[in-house]
Amino acid sequence: MKKKSLICAALAIIMLTVSCSKKETEKVAQIVKESAIEKVTAPNYNEMVLVQGGTFKMGNNVGENEEKPVHDVTVSDFYIGKYEVTVQRWFEYLKELEKKDFDKAKKYTTESVNYATNDSLQIVTIKDIVDSNCQPENIFLYEAVDFCNWLSEKEGLKPCYKIDTNMQDPNYLRENDTQNYLVICDFKANGYRLPTEAEWEFAAKGGNKSRGFKYSGSNNIDDVAWYSGNSGGNSRKKQPVGTKKPNELGIYDMSGNVWEWCYGLFSYDNNYYTACKNLGTVANPTGPTSGNFRVFRGGDLCSGDYECRVTHIGLWPAYGICDFGVRLARTP
């Protein structure tokens, strides 16, 4: 009986196919073909790139004062995200976070991932957010650090960050945030973390494969970045990650789209550049132990080409911007 039913079903499909016009049949075949291609070529947004360590010239003698002087820095092997963290990934994070701390989850929402009036988390569909593979904006430091620890624990890795609630951190204060705590990173842990400023610049320059480009992957910014020149200066007009050309290491969007947090402080009196000026080659610097600013890199959709250079340093709270995103790093 079962065999008879299968035969009847097969005959019905054949008859339906014959009755369809040639144009309709070709349309169905094209849809199937496109779906197959999409499944094969869809990028893995969790992918990490191994950056082999080396020594490079950090900084820029003709840039801003905070980029000077150029000095030798050595970094060890590390992993860095091939793509920036996406809206979809942030949505998944908040869905799990709300089970433990609903108030924190609501606080960590962004323009593209927030709560409806019935307190259900949603990915907001607006004309300027192309899809869930864009970058969530307005991610601040504590949120980025908590996300790194969450993902580490989720994948059975040792978390890198500790937020010391007994220590006030004078270097970082989110608006209306009274929890101004000290963030400590264990670089020996194998979990996810933010890249150091040195790691970020080394990776953005193409690591040991660097060809000396001004932007991450090209001297022509339009090849590799979404910025004010091709986005209309609209910070909400996000583009999906990986739509521009990658740099020499196959990493996308290190110039433009959203500013990316680095782990490190900045002080005009005690930064990488002044501290390293007379020390020769410095190995694996993590930044000064005190400073007035937090560091972020890469430029965003409102940035001009000058700010998207691989050596340009963004400083919070010196800049009145909020278009912060996250690119993950790991110690092997």
70-116 pLDDT, tens digit each = 889 999 999 999 999 999 999 999 999 999 999 999 999 988 898 98
Distance, in Å, from the CA atom of 59 to the CA atom of 61, rounded to the nearest integer, reads 7
Whether residue 38 has pLDDT greater than 50: no
Instruction: With beta carbons less than 8 A apart as the criterion, state whether 328 and 48 touch.
Output: yes
Name the one residue in this structure whose structure tokens are 């094209």.
30
Asked if pLDDT for residue 179 goes beyond 90, the answer is no
Q: In this predicted structure, what is the pLDDT of residue 7?
A: 45
Taking CB atoms within 8 Å and a gap of at least 24, the contacts of 205-213 are 205/56, 205/247, 205/310, 206/247, 206/248, 206/249, 207/51, 207/52, 207/54, 207/56, 207/248, 207/249, 208/52, 208/54, 209/248, 209/249, 210/56, 210/248, 211/248, 213/247, 213/310
Q: What does pTM read for this prediction?
A: 0.82
Q: Is the pLDDT of residue 320 over 60?
A: no
Rounded Cα gap, residues 277 and 71, in angstroms = 7
Predicted pLDDT of residue 124: 81
* 270 pLDDT above the threshold of 60: no
* Phi, psi of 307, deg, nearest 5: -75, -15
Task: Look at 18-22, 89-93, 119-123, 200-204 and tell me which has the smallest mean pLDDT.
Answer: 18-22
Place of tokens 């430029």: 299
Q: Which of 118-127, 168-177, 242-251, 297-306 has the highest mean pLDDT?
A: 242-251
CA proximity to 108, closest of 129, 85, 83, 77: 85
Higher-confidence position of 26 and 206: 206
Higher-confidence position of 226 and 175: 226
Tell me the average pLDDT across 112-132.
78
